[in-house]
Amino acid sequence: MNKKLRIVLADDHAVLRAGLKVLLNAEPDLEVIGEASDGEEAIDRVDDLHPDLVLLDLTMPKLNGVDCIEELLKKHADLKILVLTMHDDEEYLKAVLQVGAKGYVLKKAADVELLSAIRTVARGEMFIYPTMAAEFVYRHLVSPREPEKESKKLKQLSERELEVLRNLALGHTNQDIADLLHVSVKTVETYKARVMEKLEMHKRAELVRYAMENGII
């Protein structure tokens, strides 16, 4: 009998974890051996159980997905990590790939793509949700931003604005950032508005991409 692939599920939604567990355990080659409801608990579960693969949400309490992936791979270099997320955004995709995740699947397509993605990543290959993979390739074929112009924009940001930008790009909520910086949520919103104005941007996804392209994260 072939050895089953041992999986830890990390997602803050208990109902989703329960559904995924049923789905995965129904497969003859897959076994869910542990669950976690936040980033810190995910690290503890991996330390205790030594799974082959972690199926990880990108937005979790206590420790966001990007930071969690970094911590996990520092301690368990051979661990396979597949992100299962609601974020249909190339900037988030690039962020998790840069820190070592091997796959990216959208929750809306979990019933269609997930099993294939798990087995692909388990083999040591990379899996990216197909439409996102196409968009990722397209974006990196277009002309990059003008470096000199972007450098001038970046210099306009204060140290605190840079902190807010970095934390936004890492997936933290306004409340998370307020707690980290010991300020009010309203103050964070003010800094965020200033950053967007100075960088001439209107969406959070644009800030994420900018932060990655300019070495802020």
CA distance 168 to 176: 9
pLDDT of 45: 95
Model pTM? 0.62
Give backbone dihedrals phi and psi of 207, rounded to 5 degrees, phi first: -65, -40
Provide the CATH topology of domain 5-139.
Rossmann fold (3.40.50)
pLDDT of 132: 62
Architecture, CATH, for domain 147-213: Orthogonal Bundle (1.10)
Give backbone dihedrals phi and psi of 82, rounded to 5 degrees, phi first: -115, 125
Give backbone dihedrals phi and psi of 210, rounded to 5 degrees, phi first: -60, -45
User: For residues 156-188, b (16+ Cβ closer than 10 Å) or e, as one string?
Assistant: ebeeebebbbebbbbbbebebbbeeeeeeeebb
Please report, for the chain, the start and end positions of each structural domain, with discontinuous segments joined by +. 5-139, 147-213
CA distance 56 to 10: 5
Confidence category of residue 49, pLDDT binned at 50, 70, 90: very high
Q: Which of 25-39, 45-59, 132-146, 175-189 has the lowest mean pLDDT?
A: 132-146
Cβ count within 10 A of residue 136: 16
Strand order in the sheet with 103-106: 30-36, 5-10, 53-56, 80-85, 103-106, 127-128
Question: Pick from 128, 86, 83, 121: which is nearest to 107 by CA?
Answer: 86
pLDDT digits (tens, 9 = 90+) for 117-142: 899 899 988 888 666 655 555 455 44
- Max mean pLDDT among 29-33, 92-96, 130-134, 175-179 falls in 29-33
Cβ atoms of 1 and 48 within 8 Å: the answer is no
Q: Please give the average per-residue pLDDT across 25-41, as a whole number.
A: 94
CA distance 104 to 31: 20
pLDDT of 143: 43
